[in-house]
Amino acid sequence: MKEIYSVNGVDNIDLQLLNILHNNSNYTTKELAQMVNLSASPVFERVKRLEKNGYIKKYIAILDGEKLNQGFTVFCNIKLKQHDRSIGHKFVTDIMDIDEIIECYNISGDYDFLLKVTVRDMKHYQDFVFNKLGSVDSIGSTHSTFVMAEIKNTFGAAVREE
């Protein structure tokens, strides 16, 4: 019998469920139950508990940017004009409504923030930089890195037994 693994109230079966749902959240409770060799009722309760406790943040559809004319991906490093709490908060508020920015991270090192931006092409990225990022007053400088190919994207935290 496999050793029971548990951390923070999550056991091997919970980890199996998280891994399955991470790869495909369209399975029914009945299908999940078959995959982990339990009946549907305890699987339903486990998934609800994992959702309630924040292990599962939400269920989403991963869209194909290429097919939607948004396949040009750029990582944009941002340096703020000053390191001041109000300027940082203003930056975050300003970028929240910019649709082209699909991810934003507060980072350490030479830059303050890392943005993941998707647009149609280089011309549209230039327009984005001049007209949208350019209107964010708290930005001191930017540095753009253009994605040539996406090699791996697991869309969230990986499920691993330690």
- 124: in domain: yes
> Same structural domain for residues 37 and 93?
no
- Read off φ and ψ for residue 128, nearest 5 degrees: -60, -45
- 81: in domain: yes
> Same structural domain for residues 13 and 45?
yes
> Same structural domain for residues 108 and 136?
yes
| Helix, coil or strand: residue 131 | helix
* 84-107 confidence digits (pLDDT tens): 888 999 999 999 999 999 999 999
CATH of the domain at 29: 1.10.10.10
CATH of the domain at 108: 3.30.70.920
Cα torsion 4, 7, 9, 10: sign: negative
More confident residue, 9 or 86: 86
CB 44 within 8 A of CB 36: no
More confident residue, 52 or 156: 52
Based on the structure, what is the number of domains in the chain? 2
Q: Domain containing 139: what range? A: 72-146
CB 25 within 8 A of CB 62: no
* pLDDT confidence of residue 8: 72
d(CA 30, CA 112) in angstroms, rounded, equals 46
pTM of the predicted model as reported, rounded to 2 decimal places: 0.83
> Same structural domain for residues 133 and 95?
yes
> Same structural domain for residues 43 and 85?
no
> Same structural domain for residues 102 and 140?
yes
- Residues in the chain, overall count: 162
> Residue 9: pLDDT band by 50, 70, 90 thresholds?
confident
> Same structural domain for residues 46 and 76?
no
- Read off φ and ψ for residue 133, nearest 5 degrees: -65, -35
> Same structural domain for residues 135 and 105?
yes
The amino acid sitting at 10 is: V
Indicate the average pLDDT of the chain.
92
